Amino acid sequence: MRIDVLTLFPELVDRILSESVVGRGRAAGLFSVVCHQIRDFAQNKHNNVDDTPYGGGNGMVMAPGPIKRCFDDAVKDAPDGERRRVIYLSPKGAPLTQETVERLAEYDRLVLLCGHYEGVDQRVLDAIVDEEISIGDYVLTGGELPACVLTDAVVRLIPGVLASPECHEDESISSGLLEYPQYTRPAVWEGEAVPEILLSGDHARIRAWRLQRSLELTEQRRPEMALAWKTAHPPKEKKQRKGKSRQKSDA
């Protein structure tokens, strides 16, 4: 997968996406991230990329021309048949969910447009953008952090980025429940002991304990999620013991 980020702050995005697990996956060539400076595509003396809004109002709006030229340059060598999705990070977009992340992980290329100031001229959004995504109901100063959030969530699904594929399976949201509490050494810390069952080595009982904790936590914090999970996982009917049923029919 290749991710192109169109931004006024390419160094910021590049830096964040060069660290930790994502940075290692990127360095190993499991995916690539290319950051493009929209300002390089300005065509005026002062390299301005924004202007006052038509109709009046606060702040500045990012002009369509530099963004469109930057986009055309980013995709100029795209291979035929490439599965590409162009996303504008915006508080007006659809909320980002794990389902969306899994869908986006199927593309060959994501192009992420980061707005700034009061936003972006609607005409360039209409011309190039496939969907708008919000990372939450709050307003940030720019789309760079949302682009990094989206990239992080998507690339960790690429095989090899995480140490083991099972890492996804138990996780909050992916499993349909919030994750159970985790513990590591020391076994007693500031007088607080790790739940004894986790030291038992009995993997079946540990699995059952973790599921129970996950369910309790999800019921407390996200009741709608717990209800959906319970609907999808009805309790298994206990098998009738042969001896018992024979007794009944004998009676």
Does 182 sit near ligand SAM (CB under 6 A)? no
Counting residues that bind ligand SAM (by CB under 6 A) gives 20
Q: How far apart are CA 155 and CA 26, in angstroms?
A: 9
**Are 117 and 61 spatial neighbours (Cβ–Cβ below 8 Å)?**
yes
Does 135 sit near ligand SAM (CB under 6 A)? yes
Among 60, 140, 162, 173, contact with ligand SAM (rule: CB under 6 A): 140
Smallest gap, in angstroms, from Cβ of residue 53 to ligand SAM? Answer: 10
Q: How many helices (H) and strands (E) does the chain have?
A: 9, 9
For 11-66, the three-class secondary structure string (H helix, E strand, C coil) is HHHHHHCCCHHHHHHHHCCCCEEEEEEHHHHCCCCCCCCEECCCCCCCCCEECHHH
Does 25 sit near ligand SAM (CB under 6 A)? no
Q: Which is nearer to ligand SAM, 90 or 100 (CB)?
A: 90
Instruction: Pick the stretch among 113-121, 173-181, 188-196, 205-213 that binds ligand SAM (CB under 6 A).
Output: 113-121
Q: How far apart are CA 245 and CA 55, in angstroms?
A: 80
Counting every residue written for the chain, the total comes to: 251
Smallest gap, in angstroms, from Cβ of residue 49 to ligand SAM? Answer: 13
Does 57 sit near ligand SAM (CB under 6 A)? no
Does 90 sit near ligand SAM (CB under 6 A)? yes
**Are 148 and 200 spatial neighbours (Cβ–Cβ below 8 Å)?**
no
Does 134 sit near ligand SAM (CB under 6 A)? yes
Interaction site with ligand SAM (CB under 6 A): 89-92, 114-116, 118-120, 134-136, 138-143, 146
